[in-house]
Every structure is written in structure tokens, then in C-alpha cells.
């Protein structure tokens, strides 16, 4: 598949005006095709979340064009923009935005219900998405009855439910232990292999290794763009079988979206990757 899902052309996003104006994005162009997962890296304040918000039509550019499936977000009426977001875009926010008065399954099914699907159908899809992430037991729990990591995975399930063409994730593994975090990235990878376009904001080169490309932002500009493996200093051959003890590549899984099983050591690595030698020492985020 090679159709373009996201196209950003010379995009600017300026907050405020006058001398205190902040150019959160300063002329960014970026395209993501169906089947592709692109990692976005860069220091704090470099514009990563701003980029994701614009890509998901949660915010509009000050100048430039953001197109989702060929539709310019700036040219749509608010109701059409909302429908585009609901139907085509799944987002995992940096702060999770789960609704406290709804159970996990209800949170996940909500976008589908808002889109006119039957409650029973939305519930079935939600339970399926929870199953995909190994979270069956959480369906009837409210956010305050879950750990931070469980809430994060429910937020991810919500972003993946339905047939979203564009999946955006802002540090989706932040509250997860490294094994669970890798499992979540495997699900994201599998979604992209199944035809979604993905954008993943991450600080960890090890996580960027799941991506096809890494885009580096600094001061609101794309300063570099590379193949993922060179960023993570690790070999990556997504479509070759993983070492013994791990599952086949995500795209060949009979169940779309299933993460690879942990290997003998309990570690889930990007298919084809060996060790993450030196790749995560720079972040210092691991416990
Ligand atoms: N609503 C806003 N009003 C004013 N300035 C903003 C607003 N949102 C973001 N900014 C500024 O835009 C710049 C980019 O912010 P952004 O949140 O995109 O950074 P980030 O790369 O996601 O950072 P982090 O890694 O800390 O999440 C920062 O200088 C930030 O202060
Ligand atoms: Mg951010």
C-alpha cells in the first residue's frame, strides 16, 4: 500500500502574537503513508505535541496545509472536522483523557457510539480492542480502579478501536514498565502493518526502532529525518522472522494487531532487532 494518509505542507503554528509569540511549528512538511509508522523525536518544547495535534485535526495550522486522506483540515466545517477525527483518527494523548464516569469498555466504545454505532456494536468492538492488548479483565472497571499503566493501555485501546486510518501517539509508553511498553508498540506497529498510518512521539531511541522513519524536531523545525535503525543504533529487519522464541513479524500474525509474545527472557524486542545496546541509556527514563 502506498496511499498518503497524512500530508503536512509548510505548516506553521504560532501561539500568541507580537513579541511574545511562540512559533511552535515553523514550516514543517511531513507525509505519512498507509502502512508506515513514523517516530517524532526532539527536545522538550520542540513542537512534537503541537505537530501531533495538527496531524489529528485537534488544532489548525496558522499557515500551511494539513491533509488527512486528502481533506484539508482548515477547509472543513466544524461538524465535518469532528466527524473526520472520530472516524479516521485515533489519538493517545500525553495526558490520557479517559472519562472518569465511564468504564474502560465505555471509554473505548464512546467514539463509535458518537459516530452512530449501536451500543452493543461499540461494546463488542471495545471488548475486542481490550482483548488485543491483553486487558480483558479491565472492561468493567472505571479509570480510578486501574493503575496508571492500565489506564494508559485503555487509552491506547480507545485509539485503536474501529477502523482508524491514522493513529497518533504522544509518548504512549510513559507510564508503562518496559515490557508492557514494548507490547504496546508492537500493537501500534501491527496496526500500521495492517494499513494504518502512524505517528509516534517518543524520547526513546529504543522505541523509535519500531518505526520506519524518525523525524527530529528542534525549535519547531524538522532538522533531520532518518531510517529508524540508524537512530536507534540497532539492526532492524521488520519483515524477517524474529529470533527463536518470539512470534512471527506482526504483519504475518493471523490476528491483526496481536503483539509478539515475549521471548524466553521475557523481553519483547522489535522484530529483527537484537539487543538495545546503548540505545536507551541516553534517555535515562528507565527504572
Ligand atoms: N497553547 C499554547 N500557548 C502558548 N504556547 C504554547 C502552547 N502550546 C504549546 N506552546 C509552546 O509551543 C512550543 C512547543 O510545545 P509542544 O507542547 O509542542 O512541545 P513538545 O515537543 O511536545 O514538548 P514535550 O516533550 O515537553 O512534551 C513550546 O515552546 C510551548 O511552550
Ligand atoms: Mg509534548
How far does the centroid of ligand 1 lie from the alpha carbon of residue 50, in Å? 6
Q: Is 259 a domain residue?
A: no
Q: Is 102 exposed, middle or buried (0-12, 13-18, 19+ CB in 10 A)?
A: middle
Residue at 147 is within a domain: yes
List the residue whose alpha carbon is closest to atom 28 of ligand 1.
45
Residue 241 confidence (pLDDT) above 80: no
- pLDDT of 121 higher than 50: yes
> What number is the average pLDDT over the span 119-148?
92
For the CA of 44, the nearest ligand: 1
Q: Tell me, what's the pLDDT at 225?
A: 84
Confidence label for 230 from pLDDT (cuts 50, 70 and 90) = very low
More confident residue, 226 or 221: 221
Query: CB under 8 Å to 79, separation ≥6 — which residues?
Result: none
Taking only the tens place, the pLDDT of each residue in 61-120 is: 999 999 999 999 999 999 999 999 988 999 887 677 789 999 999 999 998 898 889 999
CA atoms within 13 A on the CB side of 223: 11
Whole-prediction pTM:
0.78
Question: What confidence score (pLDDT) does residue 2 get?
Answer: 52
State which residues form the domain around 141.
32-62+73-252
* 3-state class (DSSP) for residue 185: helix
**In this predicted structure, what is the pLDDT of residue 275?**
35
Residue 273 in any domain: the answer is no
Ligand 1 centroid distance, CA of 284 (Å): 22
Total domain count for the chain?
A: 1
User: Atom 30 (ligand 1): residue with closest C-alpha?
Assistant: 45
278: left (phi over 0), alpha (psi -120 to 50) or beta: left
Distance in Å from the first CA to the final CA of the chain? 39
CATH number of the domain enclosing 51:
3.40.50.300
pLDDT tens, 13-55?
A: 999 988 899 999 999 999 999 999 999 999 999 999 999 999 9
Structural domain includes residue 236: yes
Domain-located, residue 17: no
Alpha-helical regions (H) of the chain:
48-55, 78-88, 104-114, 119-132, 148-160, 178-193, 205-208, 228-232
Distance 199 CA to ligand 2 centre (A): 13
Q: Does residue 176 form part of some domain?
A: yes
> Ramachandran region of residue 75, left (φ > 0), alpha (ψ -120 to 50) or beta?
alpha
Q: How far is the CA of 205 from the centre of ligand 1 (A)?
A: 21
- The three-class DSSP label of residue 200 is strand
Please report the pLDDT score of residue 136 as a whole number.
93
Task: Please state, in angstroms and as integers, the Cα–Cα distance from residue 148 to each residue in 81, 144, 174, 254, 275, following that order.
Answer: 31, 9, 10, 30, 28
pLDDT at position 192: 93
Res 91: pLDDT? 87
Ligand 1: which of 47, 53, 93, 202 to mutate, judged by most atoms within 8 Å of the beta carbon? 47
The pLDDT, as a whole number, for residue 229 is 54
Inside any domain, residue 285: no
Mean pLDDT of the chain: 80
pLDDT over threshold 60, residue 233: no
User: Is the shortest distance between the CB of 44 and ligand 1 below 6 Å?
Assistant: yes
Q: Give residue 57's pLDDT.
A: 94
Which position has the higher pLDDT, 283 or 229?
229
Q: Ligand 1, atom 16: nearest CA belongs to which residue? A: 47
Long-range contacts of 284-287 (CB under 8 A, 24+ apart): 285/203, 285/204, 286/178, 287/177
Distance 15 CA to ligand 1 centre (A): 9
Contact present, 181 and 173 (Cβ < 8 Å): yes
Ligand 1, atom nearest to 16 Cα: 4
Amino acid at each position: 500500500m502506498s496511499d498518503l494518509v497524512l500530508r503536512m505542507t509548510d505548516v506553521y503554528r504560532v501561539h500568541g502574537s507580537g513579541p511574545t509569540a511562540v512559533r511552535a511549528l515553523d514550516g514543517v512538511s511531513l507525509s505519512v503513508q498507509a502502512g508506515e509508522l513514523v517516530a517524532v523525536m526532539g527536545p522538550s518544547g520542540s513542537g512534537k505535541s503541537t505537530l501531533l495535534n495538527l496531524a489529528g485535526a485537534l488544532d489548525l495550522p496558522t499557515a500551511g496545509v494539513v491533509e488527512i486522506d486528502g481533506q484539508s483540515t482548515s477547509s472543513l466545517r466544524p461538524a465535518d472536522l469532528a466527524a473526520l477525527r472520530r472516524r479516521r483518527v485515533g489519538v493517545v494523548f500525553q495526558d490520557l483523557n479517559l472519562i472518569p464516569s465511564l468504564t474502560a469498555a465505555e471509554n473505548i466504545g464512546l467514539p463509535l457510539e458518537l459516530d452512530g454505532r449501536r451500543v452493543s456494536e461499540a461494546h463488542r468492538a471495545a471488548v475486542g480492542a481490550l482483548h488485543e492488548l491483553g486487558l480483558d479483565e479491565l472492561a468493567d472497571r472505571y479509570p480510578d480502579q486501574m493503575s496508571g499503566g492500565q489506564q494508559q493501555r485503555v487509552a491506547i485501546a480507545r485509539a485503536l478501536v474501529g477502523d482508524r486510518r491514522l493513529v497518533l501517539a504522544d509518548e504512549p509508553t510513559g507510564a508503562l514498565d518496559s515490557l508492557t511498553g514494548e507490547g504496546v508498540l508492537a500493537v501500534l506497529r501491527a496496526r500500521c502493518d495492517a494499513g494504518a498510518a502512524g505517528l509516534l512521539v517518543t524520547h526513546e531511541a529504543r522505541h523509535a526502532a519500531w518505526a520506519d522513519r524518525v523525524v527530529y524536531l528542534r525549535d519547531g523545525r524538522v532538522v533531520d529525518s532518518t531510517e529508524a535503525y540508524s537512530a536507534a543504533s540497532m539492526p532492524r529487519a521488520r519483515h524477517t522472522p524474529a529470533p527463536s522464541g518470539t512470534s512471527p513479524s506482526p504483519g504475518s500474525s493471523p490476528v491483526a494487531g496481536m503483539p509478539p509474545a515475549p521471548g524466553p527472557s521475557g523481553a519483547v524486542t522489535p522484530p529483527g532487532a537484537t539487543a538495545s545496546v546503548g540505545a536507551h541509556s541516553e534517555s535515562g527514563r528507565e527504572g
